[in-house]
Amino acid sequence: MLMRTDPFRELDRLAQQLTGSGTWSRPSAMAMDAYREGDEYVVAFDLPGVSAESIDIDVERNMLTVKAERRPVAKGDDVQMELSERPLGVFSRQLVLADTLDTERIKADYDAGVLTLRIPIAERAKPRKVSVSGTSSRKEISG
């Protein structure tokens, strides 16, 4: 098994706690995976605790923007918070999509805190066979 470590991960988490949550003018980043599956690209974003109604997906030309907001859970007057480590606020991620992707047919699904986008490869970008036409008759040369 290959282990990948990030020595700055803990430092980033501490910095986020000190500076507060993401805002609309300065959103926090969200974790993401991207891979190709058959004739489409799949992009998965981690958004645990975010309601589907607070997710906003925009595509302008080749720029895909995903924004989401995690709000605090409503608490009663008699609740005293003891520990709060789950980040709140606004999260955002922008991706530049290749011209070979069909941005008109993006499908979005949100399940178990994961937003999954499926972006088909455009028909014009798929490999295709080109037929060769020509004359099949031969001329015989007699000498």
Helix (H) or strand (E) holding 12: helix 9-19
Tell me: the pLDDT tens digits for 90-114? 889 999 999 899 999 999 999 999 9
The token pair that represents 29 in the structure block: 């980043």
- Average pLDDT on 119-128 reads 80
Residue 44 burial (CB count, 10 A): 16
User: Are 108 and 57 within 8 A, CB to CB?
Assistant: yes
Through-space distance between the first and last CA atoms of the chain, rounded to whole angstroms: 74
Q: How far apart are CA 61 and CA 65, in angstroms?
A: 11
Q: Check whether 1 has a pLDDT greater than 50.
A: no
Average pLDDT for the chain: 81
